Amino acid sequence: MPELPEVETVRRGLAPAMDGARFAAVEQRRPDLRFPFPARFRERLVGHTITSFHRRAKYLVAGLSSGEALIMHLGMSGRFSVVRPGEEPPERQAHDHVIFTMSNDFSVIYNDPRRFGFMDIVDDGNGDICRHLSGLGIEPLGNQLSGPELARLLAEKKTPLKSALLDQRLIAGLGNIYVCEALFRAGLHPTRQSGSLRSDEADRLATCIRDVLTEAIESGGSTLKDYARTDGTLGYFQHAFRVYDREGAKCSTSGCQGHVTRIVQAGRSTFFCPQCQPENHR
DNA sequence: CTTACGGCCTGTACGC
DNA sequence: TGCGTACAGGCCGTAA
Protein backbone atom coordinates (compact mmCIF):
# COMPACT_ATOMS: atom_id res chain seq x y z
CA MET A 1 0.00 0.00 0.00
CA PRO A 2 2.42 2.46 1.14
CA GLU A 3 4.22 5.47 0.03
CA LEU A 4 5.33 8.08 2.49
CA PRO A 5 1.91 9.69 3.10
CA GLU A 6 0.27 6.34 3.75
CA VAL A 7 3.03 5.23 6.12
CA GLU A 8 2.83 8.54 7.95
CA THR A 9 -0.93 8.13 8.27
CA VAL A 10 -0.40 4.64 9.64
CA ARG A 11 2.18 5.93 12.11
CA ARG A 12 -0.26 8.48 13.44
CA GLY A 13 -2.91 5.81 13.75
CA LEU A 14 -0.62 3.40 15.57
CA ALA A 15 0.89 5.95 17.93
CA PRO A 16 -1.93 5.95 20.52
CA ALA A 17 -1.72 2.17 20.72
CA MET A 18 2.03 1.74 20.61
CA ASP A 19 4.00 4.84 21.56
CA GLY A 20 4.90 4.59 25.24
CA ALA A 21 3.20 1.23 25.66
CA ARG A 22 4.72 -2.07 26.68
CA PHE A 23 4.36 -5.26 24.67
CA ALA A 24 2.19 -7.60 26.75
CA ALA A 25 1.96 -10.34 24.14
CA VAL A 26 3.18 -10.95 20.62
CA GLU A 27 1.61 -13.53 18.34
CA GLN A 28 3.71 -14.37 15.31
CA ARG A 29 1.67 -16.61 13.07
CA ARG A 30 4.19 -17.62 10.46
CA PRO A 31 7.99 -17.82 10.30
CA ASP A 32 8.52 -15.20 7.63
CA LEU A 33 7.13 -12.36 5.63
CA ARG A 34 9.41 -11.08 2.95
CA PHE A 35 12.28 -12.20 5.16
CA PRO A 36 12.32 -14.54 8.14
CA PHE A 37 11.41 -12.83 11.39
CA PRO A 38 14.51 -12.15 13.50
CA ALA A 39 15.60 -14.71 16.06
CA ARG A 40 13.56 -14.66 19.28
CA PHE A 41 11.23 -12.05 17.83
CA ARG A 42 8.59 -12.46 20.51
CA GLU A 43 11.02 -12.62 23.41
CA ARG A 44 12.81 -9.45 22.35
CA LEU A 45 9.54 -7.52 22.40
CA VAL A 46 7.44 -8.87 25.26
CA GLY A 47 8.02 -6.93 28.46
CA HIS A 48 9.75 -4.06 26.69
CA THR A 49 8.33 -0.57 26.26
CA ILE A 50 8.24 1.52 23.10
CA THR A 51 10.15 4.67 24.00
CA SER A 52 10.03 6.34 20.59
CA PHE A 53 7.88 5.78 17.53
CA HIS A 54 8.74 7.44 14.28
CA ARG A 55 8.77 7.09 10.54
CA ARG A 56 11.81 7.14 8.30
CA ALA A 57 10.93 7.11 4.59
CA LYS A 58 8.48 4.21 4.27
CA TYR A 59 9.69 2.49 7.44
CA LEU A 60 8.19 2.57 10.92
CA VAL A 61 10.76 2.55 13.72
CA ALA A 62 9.83 1.74 17.30
CA GLY A 63 12.65 2.37 19.77
CA LEU A 64 12.54 -0.14 22.64
CA SER A 65 13.45 0.11 26.30
CA SER A 66 15.88 -2.75 25.67
CA GLY A 67 17.98 -0.45 23.48
CA GLU A 68 16.94 -2.27 20.33
CA ALA A 69 14.50 -1.01 17.71
CA LEU A 70 11.64 -2.71 15.91
CA ILE A 71 11.61 -1.87 12.21
CA MET A 72 8.44 -2.45 10.23
CA HIS A 73 7.85 -2.11 6.51
CA LEU A 74 4.52 -2.57 4.79
CA GLY A 75 5.74 -3.70 1.39
CA MET A 76 3.00 -3.47 -1.19
CA SER A 77 0.01 -4.86 0.66
CA GLY A 78 0.75 -4.54 4.38
CA ARG A 79 -1.95 -3.11 6.57
CA PHE A 80 -2.25 -2.41 10.28
CA SER A 81 -5.46 -2.26 12.22
CA VAL A 82 -5.89 -1.09 15.78
CA VAL A 83 -8.33 -2.65 18.23
CA ARG A 84 -9.18 -0.20 21.01
CA PRO A 85 -9.48 -1.21 24.67
CA GLY A 86 -12.83 -2.83 25.32
CA GLU A 87 -13.49 -3.26 21.63
CA GLU A 88 -14.43 -6.77 20.50
CA PRO A 89 -11.41 -8.24 18.70
CA PRO A 90 -12.26 -9.24 15.15
CA GLU A 91 -12.05 -12.83 13.97
CA ARG A 92 -8.71 -13.84 12.52
CA GLN A 93 -8.55 -12.98 8.85
CA ALA A 94 -6.53 -14.68 6.19
CA HIS A 95 -3.07 -13.08 6.11
CA ASP A 96 -3.21 -11.77 9.66
CA HIS A 97 0.45 -12.48 10.39
CA VAL A 98 1.29 -10.63 13.60
CA ILE A 99 -0.82 -9.52 16.57
CA PHE A 100 0.61 -7.22 19.23
CA THR A 101 -1.21 -6.94 22.52
CA MET A 102 -0.09 -3.85 24.39
CA SER A 103 -0.08 -3.05 28.08
CA ASN A 104 -2.63 -0.28 27.51
CA ASP A 105 -5.13 -2.89 26.26
CA PHE A 106 -4.85 -1.79 22.68
CA SER A 107 -4.02 -4.48 20.20
CA VAL A 108 -2.54 -4.14 16.75
CA ILE A 109 -3.01 -6.56 13.87
CA TYR A 110 -0.66 -6.75 10.89
CA ASN A 111 -2.19 -8.22 7.72
CA ASP A 112 -0.22 -8.62 4.49
CA PRO A 113 -1.51 -10.83 1.65
CA ARG A 114 1.52 -10.49 -0.60
CA ARG A 115 4.02 -10.61 2.26
CA PHE A 116 6.34 -8.06 0.70
CA GLY A 117 6.49 -6.32 4.04
CA PHE A 118 8.76 -7.34 6.91
CA MET A 119 9.57 -6.80 10.55
CA ASP A 120 13.06 -6.80 11.99
CA ILE A 121 14.71 -5.98 15.29
CA VAL A 122 18.00 -4.11 15.15
CA ASP A 123 20.41 -3.20 17.89
CA ASP A 124 20.59 0.47 17.00
CA GLY A 125 18.00 2.15 19.18
CA ASN A 126 16.92 4.79 16.71
CA GLY A 127 17.50 2.57 13.73
CA ASP A 128 19.49 5.09 11.72
CA ILE A 129 22.55 2.97 11.29
CA CYS A 130 20.86 -0.36 10.65
CA ARG A 131 21.08 -1.91 7.22
CA HIS A 132 17.53 -1.00 6.32
CA LEU A 133 17.86 2.71 6.91
CA SER A 134 21.53 3.57 6.60
CA GLY A 135 21.52 3.95 2.83
CA LEU A 136 18.43 6.08 2.59
CA GLY A 137 18.45 9.55 1.09
CA ILE A 138 16.90 12.70 2.47
CA GLU A 139 13.41 12.97 3.90
CA PRO A 140 11.33 14.86 1.36
CA LEU A 141 9.40 16.68 4.08
CA GLY A 142 12.49 17.57 6.08
CA ASN A 143 14.48 20.77 5.81
CA GLN A 144 17.04 19.20 3.54
CA LEU A 145 14.82 19.09 0.46
CA SER A 146 15.36 22.39 -1.28
CA GLY A 147 15.71 23.25 -4.96
CA PRO A 148 19.51 23.51 -4.78
CA GLU A 149 19.79 20.26 -2.84
CA LEU A 150 17.57 18.47 -5.34
CA ALA A 151 19.62 19.88 -8.19
CA ARG A 152 22.76 18.64 -6.50
CA LEU A 153 21.31 15.14 -6.05
CA LEU A 154 20.28 14.96 -9.69
CA ALA A 155 23.33 16.62 -11.18
CA GLU A 156 25.31 14.57 -13.69
CA LYS A 157 22.78 11.75 -13.53
CA LYS A 158 21.80 10.31 -16.86
CA THR A 159 18.96 8.26 -15.49
CA PRO A 160 15.42 9.47 -16.29
CA LEU A 161 13.97 11.92 -13.83
CA LYS A 162 11.25 9.49 -12.85
CA SER A 163 13.69 6.71 -11.99
CA ALA A 164 15.86 9.10 -9.98
CA LEU A 165 12.90 10.22 -7.88
CA LEU A 166 12.01 6.60 -7.16
CA ASP A 167 15.58 5.91 -6.02
CA GLN A 168 15.36 5.74 -2.23
CA ARG A 169 19.08 6.48 -1.92
CA LEU A 170 18.49 10.00 -3.19
CA ILE A 171 15.11 10.95 -1.76
CA ALA A 172 13.50 8.43 0.55
CA GLY A 173 9.76 7.91 0.64
CA LEU A 174 8.45 8.65 -2.81
CA GLY A 175 6.79 5.85 -4.76
CA ASN A 176 5.21 5.48 -8.14
CA ILE A 177 2.10 7.51 -7.44
CA TYR A 178 3.60 10.60 -5.89
CA VAL A 179 6.47 10.73 -8.34
CA CYS A 180 3.99 10.87 -11.21
CA GLU A 181 1.92 13.52 -9.45
CA ALA A 182 4.90 15.67 -8.49
CA LEU A 183 6.33 15.61 -12.02
CA PHE A 184 2.97 16.59 -13.43
CA ARG A 185 2.64 19.50 -11.04
CA ALA A 186 6.14 20.65 -11.84
CA GLY A 187 5.52 20.37 -15.59
CA LEU A 188 8.50 18.09 -16.09
CA HIS A 189 8.64 15.18 -18.52
CA PRO A 190 9.35 11.85 -16.77
CA THR A 191 11.98 10.76 -19.28
CA ARG A 192 14.00 13.94 -18.95
CA GLN A 193 17.59 13.22 -18.10
CA SER A 194 18.00 14.00 -14.42
CA GLY A 195 21.12 16.04 -14.89
CA SER A 196 19.41 18.32 -17.39
CA LEU A 197 17.29 20.13 -14.79
CA ARG A 198 17.79 23.87 -14.58
CA SER A 199 17.83 25.45 -11.16
CA ASP A 200 14.37 26.99 -11.59
CA GLU A 201 13.02 23.57 -12.55
CA ALA A 202 14.64 21.97 -9.53
CA ASP A 203 13.11 24.65 -7.31
CA ARG A 204 9.70 23.95 -8.78
CA LEU A 205 10.06 20.21 -8.43
CA ALA A 206 11.16 20.44 -4.80
CA THR A 207 8.12 22.56 -4.01
CA CYS A 208 5.77 20.22 -5.86
CA ILE A 209 7.14 17.14 -4.07
CA ARG A 210 6.58 18.73 -0.67
CA ASP A 211 3.15 20.01 -1.61
CA VAL A 212 1.81 16.75 -2.98
CA LEU A 213 3.06 14.77 0.02
CA THR A 214 1.72 17.29 2.51
CA GLU A 215 -1.69 17.38 0.86
CA ALA A 216 -1.81 13.60 0.72
CA ILE A 217 -1.06 13.28 4.43
CA GLU A 218 -3.78 15.81 5.18
CA SER A 219 -6.18 13.60 3.20
CA GLY A 220 -5.18 10.49 5.14
CA GLY A 221 -3.25 9.05 2.21
CA SER A 222 -4.56 7.43 -0.93
CA THR A 223 -6.78 4.37 -1.04
CA LEU A 224 -6.31 2.16 -4.04
CA LYS A 225 -7.15 -1.47 -3.56
CA ASP A 226 -6.43 -2.45 -0.01
CA TYR A 227 -5.08 0.53 1.85
CA ALA A 228 -6.98 1.71 4.89
CA ARG A 229 -6.03 3.72 7.92
CA THR A 230 -5.50 1.87 11.17
CA ASP A 231 -9.10 2.57 12.21
CA GLY A 232 -10.40 1.06 8.98
CA THR A 233 -11.43 4.38 7.44
CA LEU A 234 -10.17 5.17 3.99
CA GLY A 235 -7.76 7.82 2.82
CA TYR A 236 -9.15 9.97 0.04
CA PHE A 237 -6.23 11.61 -1.71
CA GLN A 238 -6.80 9.32 -4.71
CA HIS A 239 -9.60 11.69 -5.72
CA ALA A 240 -6.96 14.38 -6.08
CA PHE A 241 -4.81 12.38 -8.53
CA ARG A 242 -4.25 14.41 -11.65
CA VAL A 243 -2.45 11.78 -13.73
CA TYR A 244 -1.90 8.56 -11.75
CA ASP A 245 -4.06 5.73 -13.12
CA ARG A 246 -5.91 8.15 -15.39
CA GLU A 247 -4.67 6.97 -18.77
CA GLY A 248 -6.68 8.53 -21.60
CA ALA A 249 -8.42 11.10 -19.42
CA LYS A 250 -8.43 14.68 -20.55
CA CYS A 251 -5.77 16.68 -18.76
CA SER A 252 -7.11 18.49 -15.71
CA THR A 253 -5.17 21.67 -16.42
CA SER A 254 -7.67 24.32 -17.44
CA GLY A 255 -7.45 25.00 -21.14
CA CYS A 256 -5.12 22.06 -21.80
CA GLN A 257 -6.27 19.80 -24.63
CA GLY A 258 -3.82 17.05 -23.74
CA HIS A 259 -4.69 13.57 -22.53
CA VAL A 260 -3.04 11.57 -19.80
CA THR A 261 -0.57 9.13 -21.34
CA ARG A 262 0.88 5.96 -19.87
CA ILE A 263 4.37 4.74 -20.63
CA VAL A 264 6.46 2.07 -18.94
CA GLN A 265 9.77 3.01 -17.35
CA ALA A 266 11.90 0.41 -15.60
CA GLY A 267 8.94 -1.95 -15.71
CA ARG A 268 6.56 0.43 -13.97
CA SER A 269 3.74 2.58 -15.27
CA THR A 270 4.35 6.29 -15.62
CA PHE A 271 1.43 8.66 -16.18
CA PHE A 272 1.88 12.18 -17.52
CA CYS A 273 0.41 14.88 -19.76
CA PRO A 274 2.49 15.39 -22.89
CA GLN A 275 1.20 18.96 -23.21
CA CYS A 276 1.90 20.09 -19.66
CA GLN A 277 5.13 18.10 -19.38
CA PRO A 278 6.89 18.79 -22.67
CA GLU A 279 9.80 16.61 -23.62
CA ASN A 280 11.67 19.46 -25.25
CA HIS A 281 12.28 22.17 -22.75
CA ARG A 282 13.58 25.62 -23.47
C1' DC B 1 30.59 2.60 -10.34
C1' DT B 2 25.60 2.78 -12.73
C1' DT B 3 21.38 1.01 -14.67
C1' DA B 4 17.96 -2.81 -15.97
C1' DC B 5 15.52 -6.72 -14.93
C1' DG B 6 13.61 -10.80 -12.66
C1' DG B 7 11.77 -12.43 -8.55
C1' DC B 8 9.25 -12.41 -4.38
C1' DC B 9 3.64 -13.39 -3.23
C1' DT B 10 -1.44 -12.93 -3.67
C1' DG B 11 -5.51 -10.67 -5.33
C1' DT B 12 -8.19 -8.54 -8.77
C1' DA B 13 -9.73 -7.05 -13.24
C1' DC B 14 -10.35 -8.12 -17.78
C1' DG B 15 -10.69 -10.60 -22.31
C1' DC B 16 -12.06 -14.73 -24.44
C1' DT C 1 -18.89 -19.65 -15.11
C1' DG C 2 -14.18 -20.55 -15.91
C1' DC C 3 -9.63 -19.88 -17.35
C1' DG C 4 -5.54 -17.47 -18.68
C1' DT C 5 -3.03 -13.16 -18.58
C1' DA C 6 -1.60 -8.74 -17.03
C1' DC C 7 -0.89 -5.84 -13.53
C1' DA C 8 -0.51 -3.76 -8.70
C1' DG C 9 1.53 1.19 -3.91
C1' DG C 10 8.35 -1.90 -2.96
C1' DC C 11 12.61 -3.58 -2.68
C1' DC C 12 16.67 -6.71 -3.33
C1' DG C 13 20.03 -9.46 -5.76
C1' DT C 14 22.18 -10.24 -9.87
C1' DA C 15 23.69 -9.24 -14.43
C1' DA C 16 25.38 -6.30 -17.90
DSSP state of A39: T
Question: A179: Cβ under 7 Å from strand C?
Answer: no
Comparing CA positions, the residue from A166, A159, A155, A146 lying closest to residue A57 is: A166
Quick check: is A3 catalytic? yes
A192 is known as an active-site residue: no
A58: nt with nearest C1' to CA: C10
> How far does the CA of A79 sit from the C1' of C2, in Å?
31
The CA distances from residue A242 to A177, A249, A267, A273, in Å, are 10, 9, 21, 9
Q: Residue A146: CB partners within 8 Å, gap ≥ 6?
A: A206
Phi, psi of A186 (to 5 degrees): -85, -10
Give the model's pLDDT for residue A225: 66
A34 touches strand C (CB under 7 A): yes
β-strands A261-265, A69-73: how paired?
A: unpaired
Q: What angle do CA A212, A218, A224 make, to 5 degrees?
A: 75
Is the C-beta atom of A95 closer than 7 angstroms to strand B? yes
What does the pLDDT read at residue A229?
Answer: 85
Helix axes A199-218, A4-18, angle to 10 degrees: 40
Per-residue model confidence as pLDDT tens for chain A (282 residues): 589 999 999 999 999 999 999 999 999 999 999 999 999 999 999 999 999 999 999 999 999 999 999 999 999 899 999 999 999 999 988 899 999 999 999 999 999 998 999 999 998 777 677 888 988 999 999 888 999 999 999 998 888 999 999 999 999 999 999 999 999 999 999 999 999 999 999 999 999 999 999 999 999 888 876 667 888 888 888 889 999 989 889 999 999 999 999 888 888 889 999 999 998 664
Give pLDDT, residue A281. 60
Looking across all nucleic acid strands, the nucleotide with the smallest C1' to CA distance from residue A265 is B4
Question: What ranges make up the beta strands (E) of A59-117?
Answer: 59-64, 69-73, 79-83, 96-102, 107-111
Distance CA A190, CA A199 (A): 17
Distances (CA, A) of A100 to A105, A157, A196, A282: 10, 44, 48, 55
Where on strand C do bases come within 7 A of a protein Cβ? 7-12
pTM for this entry: 0.95
Protein-to-nucleotide distance from the CA of A11 to the C1' of C4, whole angstroms: 39
CA atoms of A79 and A74, how far apart (whole Å):
7
